[in-house]
Amino acid sequence: MAGRVLRASIPIVLLVAGAASIAAGVKFNTHEVLAQIEQKQSAPKDLPGGPSAMWMQRGTAGQQGPQYIATWLKETEPQLIQEVTVGGLRLAEGGKIERTYSGDTPSLCPT
């Protein structure tokens, strides 16, 4: 009898745990991702935390090209899943997550 109750309770407990994990993934599992976001206007002279370090100019000096600003984005777990399907995330120095691309999302995972 006790064995049967135990056997019947295992899948129920697993179902509840699985559903709770899904809910946690959708609701709470948010992470900061360092992304290079294309910026339309020119770089401002002063940005808090080191202006020149925050800005990247594509191409050689003096050339006009898209400008990118390093930005921390909050991404939910579904967004992280979408990013990894194109090989779009890696672990940077210091344990931070960063995008492997700047500008448009790649269409394919490089592996």
Partner 1 sequence: MTTSSRSGVVARLVRWRGWIQAAFLLVWLDPLLLRLHTVCSPVFHCYSCPLATFACPIGVLANFSAIHVFPFLAVGLLVVIGALVGSLLCGYACPFGFLQDLVGKIPTPKVHLPGWLGYTRYAVLGGLVLAVPFFWGEGHPLFFCRVCPAGALEGWLPNATKAAIDSGVFVWANPLKLGVLVFVVVAMFVKWRPWCTLLCPLGGIFGLFNRGSLLVLRYDGHACSGCGQCSRLCKYDVLPGGNVNNTQCIRCLECTKCEAIRVGCALGRGSNGEQCGPAGAIRQRRERKGSRLYP
Q: Which span (8-16, 42-50, 53-61, 63-71) binds partner 1, by CB under 8 A?
A: 8-16
Comparing C-alpha atoms, which of 107, 41, 100 is closest to residue 69? Answer: 41
| Single residue of 55, 69, 77, 102 touching partner 1 by CB under 8 A | 77
Within 14-73, which residues bind partner 1 (CB under 8 A)?
Answer: 14-15, 17-26, 29, 31
Q: 32 vs 44, which CB is nearer to partner 1?
A: 32
Residue by residue, what is the 3-state secondary structure of 30-71? CEEEEEEEEECCCCCCCCCCCHHHHEEECCCCCCCCCEEEEE
Rule CB under 8 A: say whether 91 interacts with partner 1.
yes
